[in-house]
Amino acid sequence: MTSPDPTARQMDLLLPDTRPMREELEAGAMLLRAFAKPCDAEYLQALEHVARQAPFRHMHTPGGGTMSAAMTSCGTLGWVSSLQGYTYTTLDPASQQAWPTIPPSLLSLAQAAAQTAGYAHFIPNACLLNRYQNGSHMGLHQDRDEHDTTQPIVSLSLGRSGIFLWGGPDRRSKVRTLMLEHGDVLVWGGPARLHYHGIKGLGPHAHPLTGWTRFNITFRHVVAPPTPAPQT
């Protein structure tokens, strides 16, 4: 074997990025790199439109803490964390008004991504918006409040990069890290739907459209959990 030619290595730095645009990370998990970039400004405008009606807030956790990522929601159901636990609600607790509707541009994007990953009839009714700033993170967790794991979760990353933690079916599975960049879309379904995941922190660079802030938008199909029978 010959040793690597330093000139060839130098040349590599000039070659175009050949990472595939559509990569199956594992069975059921598809990364669509830069999928959302062509309309990125439109998605950020839609996010701002939602946040004007339902502002980002730092929610409390059942353990008595406060989430370092700020959150809001749109869609029929919004995800809420409080001392009482995690749930989906039809009203924004901050305003007692219905959550804003999912902006059409975001809905189309989520459906196009799901379709590309093999889910032809994805109908999200819950859309969680996360905002990360310096010091924000999200510990390893599963998304299991949706009561329907036949539907995928579609995630859209915008702005500053995030250091994604990507684990397996139980908390002790090996965890990999992956940089999620502006415009990246992930579709998690099938056997990967309940896998542990989180955000360790943010990348070192500001983004031209969002500065030092990272946004992530997840689209979900939630089945309302059974509620107690009303008193007669």
Binding residues vs ligand MD3 (CB under 6 A): 128, 130, 138, 143, 153, 155, 162, 186, 188, 192-193, 195, 197, 199, 216, 218
Residue with the two structure tokens 């809905």: 107
CA–CA–CA angle 46, 28, 116 (5° rounding): 50
Query: Judged by CB, which is closer to ligand MD3: 11, or 173?
Result: 173
Strand order in the sheet with 214-220: 22-26, 29-32, 185-188, 153-159, 214-220, 126-132, 70-75
Give the whole-angstrom CA distance, residue 75 versus residue 146. 14
Q: Which residue is nearest to Fe ion (CB)?
A: 143
Query: Judged by CB, which is closer to Fe ion: 160, or 195?
Result: 195
Which partner, Fe ion, ligand MD3, none, binds residue 153 by CB below 5 to 8 Å per kind? ligand MD3
Which partner, Fe ion, ligand MD3, none, binds residue 136 by CB below 5 to 8 Å per kind? none
Which partner, ligand MD3, Fe ion, none, binds residue 155 by CB below 5 to 8 Å per kind? ligand MD3
State in angstroms the smallest separation of the CB of 128 from ligand MD3: 5
Which partner, Fe ion, ligand MD3, none, binds residue 74 by CB below 5 to 8 Å per kind? none
State in angstroms the smallest separation of the CB of 13 from ligand MD3: 29
State in angstroms the smallest separation of the CB of 114 from Fe ion: 17
Range 172-181, long-range pairs (CB < 8 A, 24+ positions)? 175/140, 178/25, 178/31, 179/203, 180/216, 181/33, 181/34, 181/157
Which of 177, 157, 142 lies closest to 219 in space, CA to CA?
Answer: 157
Query: Judged by CB, which is closer to Fe ion: 59, or 208?
Result: 59
State in angstroms the smallest separation of the CB of 143 from ligand MD3: 4
Query: Judged by CB, which is closer to Fe ion: 143, or 146?
Result: 143
Handedness of CA 44, 47, 49, 55 (dihedral sign): negative
Binding site for Fe ion (CB under 5 A): 143
How would you write 96-108 as a 3-class SS string? CEECCCCCHHHHH
Q: Residue 92, CB half-sphere, CA atoms under 13 Å: how many?
A: 22
Which partner, ligand MD3, Fe ion, none, binds residue 199 by CB below 5 to 8 Å per kind? ligand MD3
Q: Which two tokens stand for residue 128?
A: 């969680």
Which partner, Fe ion, ligand MD3, none, binds residue 186 by CB below 5 to 8 Å per kind? ligand MD3
State in angstroms the smallest separation of the CB of 9 from ligand MD3: 33
